[in-house]
Structure 1
C-alpha cells in the first residue's frame, strides 16, 4: 500500500488562524484522499497566534525532514524576522526536492530563506510592495491569487490559501478530487491563479459575488452557445455593465472564464468517464476534438489523452 503524501504545516510565532486552518482542512485524511497532515513549530510546544491564543504543535523543525510538502502560513506582523534555523531548515528541504508553499505573509519566510530568488511570487496585496522592496530579485505579482513555480508556490492573503491548496490537489490527484474536497468545504472549486485579488480601488463599485447566480447558470449551459448578450440578459444588465462587473469580480473576461470552465469540465470527464475526446468536446461546448486539444495544450501544456492517462481512476 502506497504511503500517504505527508504535508507539514510550519506554524511560526504570530501565525494567522485562517492560514493555519486551510491546509489542515484541505489535506486532512478524513477527506478520503491520500494525504497526511501535521503541524510543527520552531520547537515542540505552544506557538502564540495572532489572535490571543496558541497552537499546540507536537514537533519542532525536525518534522520538515519527513515532509513531501511544507506549507508556511502567514504570520503577523508581515515581514518580521524569523529564526535563522527556520531559513536553514527550509533551504535544506528545498534542496532535497520537497515542495514548499506559502500562504499570505508566509512568502516572507520563503523569500528570506532565498527560495524565491529569480522566481515569480505573490503575497497579500497590502504587503506586496514591502516584499518587492526587500527582495528586488523576486518578481512580485500583487494582483493574482497564487503563483505556481513548480516546487515553490505562493498565495495571496487569507482565503487565497484555499485556492492554492485546491490547486495543489488538482496537480496531485486531478480535478475530481479537488472538486470533492471543495464541496466538503462548501467553497468554489476553482478560481484560477491569475484571477485578481480583490484590491481596493478608488471607485464606489464594490467587489463581490453579485454575478454568482449567472456564473452558476452558465456552468449548467456549457454545451450551449454562450454570448455576452445572453449572459448579460440573465444578469439583467446591459452588456457593457455586465462586462465591467464580471471582470471586476473574477479577474477575467466572461469568455475567458467560460473557456476555462469548459476545459475544467472536460478534465473532469476525462478523469471519470471513458467518453471519446470528440464526445467530451461536444458536451462541454468546444465543438470538436481538435478544438479541445488546442485549448488543452494552450492552457495545460498536455494533450487530453496524456491528461487521461495520468489522472483517470485516481480520484
Structure 2
C-alpha cells in the first residue's frame, strides 16, 4: 500500500530535496487518473524552520504524524553529530510496523542514526559516502549508484537521484503506468538505467566532444548489430588503443560497458512496450539470444526478462 506519505524535515532542510518528495507525492493529479496521496511534512519541533537556502517554512506536524504513514521520507539536511531522539523512535516504530522508509541524499544519516541501515546496503550523495560508511560500519555503502532498494529501506544519492528513488518505489508498488504518469507530469524520465533493479547504476554522462558524439548517436541506432572495439575504432578513424582511451575519457566508461548498458535499456523498453518473444527482444537489442539477455539482466538488474515483463509490461 502507498497512500499516506510523510516527509521528515529538520532545521536547514534542503529545499530541492523536500521539493522532490512534494512533487512526487504532494500534488493532486487525479485529473490524469493518478492516485492522490495523503501527504504531510513533519519535524521534531513543528513551527517555523530555516531551510538550507536561508528562508523559512512552516511545519504543521510533529513526530506523531509518522504513526499512520505508509512511507516516511527523510529529506536532506546538513549532517549532524546527533539526531532528535523523538524522530529516531518514530522512524523505528514506522519500520517495525511495516512502513517503508526512504532517504534523499544526506537523509541517510538520519536513517543510520535510527539503526535502519544496519545489515543493509545503502547510499547517499557521493560527497558523503565515505563519511556514511565510517559512521555506520554495519551498512555496506554503494558509492556509485542512484539508489539502493533494501526493502523496506530505500536510500538515494544526491539531489535528483531522489526523483529516481521515489519513482522506483511508485513503480514497484503501483505499477509502471502510474510511475510513467507522474514522470510525464514532472517532465522527467520514469526510470534511469534500471527500473526494478535492486540498485541502479549512475547514468553515463553525455558526450559533448565532436570526436565521438556522432559515433555514439550511430551506435544507439545500431545496437542490434555485433560490434567490436576494432570495428568502432575504425569507424572513428582511430587505433583501437587510442579509441578505447578516448571513449573512457569522454563517456566515463568502457565501450563494452556502454554498449551493454544501452542494450539493456533498449531491452527494457521492448519488454515493457511490446509483446515480442524474449528471443526476439534479445536479438533486437543486440544480445543475440535469450540466454545471453537473461545473463545480463540477472547480473545488472537483479531479475529475469520474464519477471521484468510480468511486473512492468
User: Do the aligned residues in 1 keep the contact of 2:206 with 2:251 (CA within 8 Å)?
Assistant: no
Secondary structure of 1:70 counterpart: strand
Pairing partner for 2:248 from 240, 244, 247: 244
User: Do the aligned residues in 2 keep the contact of 1:246 with 1:254 (CA within 8 Å)?
Assistant: no
Pairing partner for 1:72 from 71, 74, 79: 74
1:25-51 deviation line (CA, Å, top 9, x unaligned):
234453754462623222544332111
What is the CA–CA distance in structure 1 between the aligned matches of 2:133 and 2:295, rounded to whole Å?
Answer: 36
What is the CA–CA distance in structure 2 between the aligned matches of 1:4 and 1:145, rounded to whole Å?
Answer: 22
1:265–1:131 Cα change, 3 Å: same
What is the CA–CA distance in structure 2 between the aligned matches of 1:62 and 1:53, rounded to whole Å?
Answer: 25
User: Do the aligned residues in 1 keep the contact of 2:244 with 2:255 (CA within 8 Å)?
Assistant: no
Counterpart residue number, 1:55: 57
User: Do the aligned residues in 2 keep the contact of 1:73 with 1:103 (CA within 8 Å)?
Assistant: yes
User: Do the aligned residues in 2 keep the contact of 1:9 with 1:37 (CA within 8 Å)?
Assistant: no
User: Do the aligned residues in 2 keep the contact of 1:69 with 1:99 (CA within 8 Å)?
Assistant: yes
Secondary structure of 1:125 counterpart: coil
1:188-215 deviation line (CA, Å, top 9, x unaligned):
54146454599xxxxxxxx875369565
User: Do the aligned residues in 2 keep the contact of 1:104 with 1:158 (CA within 8 Å)?
Assistant: yes
Instruction: Name stretches of at least 5 consecutive residues in structure 2 with no aligned partner.
Output: none
1:101–1:19 Cα change, 3 Å: same
Q: Quote the offset at 1:123 in angstroms.
A: 2.0
Counterpart residue number, 1:258: 259
What is the CA–CA distance in structure 2 between the aligned matches of 1:177 and 1:229, rounded to whole Å?
Answer: 43
1:129-163 deviation line (CA, Å, top 9, x unaligned):
33233222222333433222221121222223233
Secondary structure of 2:107 counterpart: helix
What is the CA–CA distance in structure 2 between the aligned matches of 1:54 and 1:291, rounded to whole Å?
Answer: 54
What is the CA–CA distance in structure 1 between the aligned matches of 2:111 and 2:168, rounded to whole Å?
Answer: 19
**Matching of residues 170-185 of structure 1 within 5 Å:** 170-173=171-174, 178=179, 181-182=182-183, 184-185=185-186
TM-score by length of 1: 0.78
Aligned length: 298
What is the CA–CA distance in structure 1 between the aligned matches of 2:181 and 2:222, rounded to whole Å?
Answer: 21
User: Do the aligned residues in 1 keep the contact of 2:92 with 2:116 (CA within 8 Å)?
Assistant: yes
What is the CA–CA distance in structure 1 between the aligned matches of 2:256 and 2:117, rounded to whole Å?
Answer: 33
Pairing partner for 1:16 from 14, 32, 35: 14
After TM superposition, the structure 1 stretch with the greater mean CA deviation from structure 2, 54-63 or 230-239, is 230-239
1:268–1:67 Cα change, 3 Å: farther
Pairing partner for 1:210 from 208, 211, 222: 208
After TM superposition, the structure 1 stretch with the greater mean CA deviation from structure 2, 97-106 or 137-146, is 137-146
User: Do the aligned residues in 1 keep the contact of 2:193 with 2:202 (CA within 8 Å)?
Assistant: no
1:296–1:230 Cα change, 3 Å: same
User: Do the aligned residues in 2 keep the contact of 1:40 with 1:61 (CA within 8 Å)?
Assistant: no
What is the CA–CA distance in structure 1 between the aligned matches of 2:157 and 2:182, rounded to whole Å?
Answer: 20
